[in-house]
A and B are shown apart, each in its own frame.
Chain A
């Protein structure tokens, strides 16, 4: 039922979303933790930067990433110096762009989960001889589990759903940067509506199921 090109696009999309989500959980957790705990005057600035992709057109984000990562941009020069070449129009470039683009969808649920837990459980753990790291893994992580699940679902789903950033930074290279959303665009341009239907319908169903799972999950456990 799926053409070879469509299978490649679906596979690439799932790979991109999975890698992006894993990176975001690793990078986003300390950022969310810092945002939830700090009294620093930089909290507002960092919070705003993380939230930017929520309001910016993907083309703006894509444009600047292209400038910075491109052969004349600072990061581009660095990656060339390190012998990695330039990132735009590669899968790695797509991952970097997706990490920025989906950042708020992971950081914000985590930050809310950490804020809801508050400082008290950490103080309790400290009076029971747990070091801060110990307390984070044995108390904060289990209590923030609903937040981590929400963050993973949203980060994954949002990466699957991106289009503009992909087009700007990744272009449209089969099996490298041609993800489902771009593939649908191609099909529609070529008037292959049947092919487009298969992918578009699949995306619709996927997105609905993800949101259904998210909204029908039982209430998060509360601190007692």
Chain B
């Protein structure tokens, strides 16, 4: 059992009007999204992992190393935890140049540098900014430098607190590709706080859903996003994330076919070359159900699927139906009227009609 390779965390924080009480097991690799609405405790949890929350009580075992165990009076201060932290707003030292900001943490790390400075600089594309002062950088550039500065310490755990929240859409799309590269190239676990479903769907491998200081659900991205038993706060935006491969381009109709286990969908022509991996989201409200393969419809994406379970949706008039399309989960949001008239019950074979897919990236 790879028990030692995981991160075990148990934290309690009690403030007037807010309680955090979580117990977590995070995988030792990949990106874990701490996902929830504002006030759900996700940033507090991240700060607990970093040792920045002085009033937290709990324990933290990082891949077999005890970082905190308040019952035994053990608590490593933040500067003795081998982690990188990217704050929500850019947090560069204003009195130091970009280069000296990058050096600040790096020269305080003893031993081997698993991530070279050159690699961090290249990964974030900030080579041309090294001699600038932070106030001469754009918001997006500052955040890229902050990420590179955290990476340059060769952290064993990277914590990111909504690194895109303070940026406008254009800056966000400027940074997201860099974050995706981190995901692909880094061997270390990353905890990524976000309240934006599309960001989570694009970057995460695992999800921890938080609500009012409690863990509501945790697990792999696809399974967790496809769960129906979550509070309505999450189901109003219900949907699934599917990872697919660019399989074919149709130049006549300007379309691209994306294949995934259990089927394929056709979307408007993409720039990506064949074989590239792409993630897309299918919102439950964009999926309808039919008893037979529909003829004479404008909807091109039709998938055979088996009904797995039915659950309440955000309104009494609707239900959420979880489907299995040859291994790929789907969720459809249909009316209770249709549920009864089509006789939708677990085990029934149906056709899922997908009106729209949201490509991430």
Cβ 8 A contact of B91, one of A121, A138, A221, A222 = A121
Taking the closest CB of chain A, its distance from the CB of B156, in whole angstroms, is 12
Q: Which residues of B contact A224 (CB under 8 A)?
A: 90, 92, 94, 134-135, 142
A128 and B108 within 8 A (CB): yes
Residues of A within 8 A of B104 (CB): 125, 128, 130, 138
Q: Which chain A residues lie closer than 8 Å to B293 at the CB level?
A: none
Known contacts A142-B95, A143-B95, A221-B94: A126-B87 contact under CB 8 Å: no
Asked whether A127 lies within 8 Å of B85 as measured between CB atoms, the reply is yes
Cβ-based interface call for A139 (8 A) = yes
List which B48-95 residues lie within 8 A (CB) of chain A. Answer: 50-52, 77-80, 83-85, 87, 90-95
- Check A124 for interface membership: any CB of B closer than 8 A: yes
Whole-angstrom CA separation of A121 from B84 in the bound complex: 15
* A120→B91 contact, CB < 8 A: yes
Contact B78–A126 (Cβ < 8 Å) = yes
Are A143 and B94 in contact, with the CB atoms below 8 A?
Answer: yes
Contact A124 B87, beta carbon cutoff 8 Å: yes
Q: Does B153 contact A (CB under 8 A)?
A: yes
B182 at the interface (CB under 8 A from A): no
A217 is an interface residue with CB less than 8 A from chain B = no
A128 and B149 contacting across the interface, CB-CB below 8 Å: yes
Q: A131–B134 contact, CB under 8 A?
A: no
In the complex, which of the residues B77, B90, B93, B135 contacts A126, with contact meaning CB atoms closer than 8 Å?
Answer: B77
A221 touches B108 (CB 8 A): no
Chain A residues 123-146 with CB under 8 Å of chain B are: 123-132, 134, 138-139, 142-143
Min distance, Cβ A38 to any Cβ of chain B, angstroms? 13
The answer to whether B93 touches A121, judged by C-beta atoms less than 8 angstroms apart, is yes
Check if A223 sits within 8 Å of B52, measured CB to CB: no
Residues in A neighbouring B90, C-beta threshold 8 A: 224
Minimal beta-carbon separation of A121 from chain B (angstroms): 7
**A131 CB to nearest B CB, Å:** 5
Most buried by A among B50, B108, B142, B150: B108
CA–CA, A139 to B135, complex, Å? 16
B105 in contact with A129 (CB, 8 Å): yes
CA gap between A128 and B149 in the complex, in Å: 8
Name the distance in Å between B54's Cβ and chain A's nearest Cβ.
11
Asked whether A123 and B95 contact (CB < 8 A) given A129-B105, A224-B142, the answer is: no
What size tier do the contact residues of chain A reach?
20 to 34
Closest Cβ neighbor of B102 among chain A residues: A128
| Chain B residue at smallest Cβ distance from A222 | B94
Q: How far is the CA of A126 from the CA of B93 in the complex (A)?
A: 13
- The answer on a CB contact under 8 Å between B78 and A127 is yes
**Max chain B C-beta neighbours (<10 A), residue from A129, A134, A138:** A129
> Does chain A have a CB within 8 A of B109?
yes
Across the interface, B108 reaches (CB within 8 A) one of A123, A130, A132, A222, namely A130
| Residues of chain A lying within 8 A (CB to CB) of residue B95 | 142-143, 221
| Cα-based distance from A142 to B93 in the complex (angstroms) | 10
Q: Known: A224-B134, A224-B135. Is A128-B94 also a contact (CB below 8 A)?
A: no
Q: Pick the residue among A120, A128, A131, A143 that contacts B105 (CB under 8 A).
A: A128
Are B105 and A126 within 8 A (Cβ)?
no
- Indicate if the CB atoms of B79 and A124 lie closer than 8 Å: no
Given A128-B149, A128-B153, does the pair A120, B87 have CB atoms closer than 8 Å?
A: yes
Q: Given the complex of chains A and B, what is the CA–CA distance between A127 and B47 in angstroms?
A: 11
Of residues 33 through 90 on chain A, the ones whose CB sits less than 8 Å from some CB of chain B are: none
CB distance from A164 to the nearest CB of B (A): 41
Least CB distance, B99 to chain A, in whole angstroms: 14
Report whether B78 and A123 are in contact in the complex, using a CB–CB cutoff of 8 Å: yes
Tell me the complex Cα distance, A132–B51, Å.
Answer: 14
Please, how many angstroms separate the alpha-carbon atoms of A142 and B105 in the complex?
A: 17
On whether the beta carbons of B52 and A129 are closer than 8 Å, the reply is no
Chain B residues within 8 Å of A129, by CB: 79-80, 105, 108-109, 153
Q: Which chain B residues lie closer than 8 Å to A132 at the CB level?
A: 79
- Of A126, A132, A224, chain B has the most CB atoms within 10 Å of the CB of A224
Residues of B within 8 A of A131 (CB): 77, 79
Expressed in whole angstroms, the minimum distance between the Cβ of B136 and any Cβ of chain A is 10
Which of A124, A126, A131 has the most chain B CB within a 10 Å cutoff? A124
Q: Tell me whether B93 and A124 are in contact (CB under 8 A).
A: yes
Given contacts A127-B105, A143-B94, 16 further A-B contacts (CB under 8 A): A121-B91, A124-B91, A126-B79, A127-B50, A127-B52, A127-B78, A127-B83, A128-B79, A128-B105, A130-B79, A132-B79, A134-B108, A143-B93, A143-B95, A224-B92, A224-B142
User: What 4 A-B pairs come out closest when comparing CB atoms?
Assistant: A128-B105, A127-B85, A129-B108, A126-B78
**Chain B residues near A (Cβ < 8 Å):** 50-52, 77-80, 83-85, 87, 90-95, 104-105, 108-109, 134-135, 142, 149-150, 153
Q: What are some 9 contacts across the A-B interface (CB < 8 A)? A: A123-B52, A124-B85, A127-B79, A127-B85, A129-B80, A129-B108, A129-B153, A131-B77, A224-B94
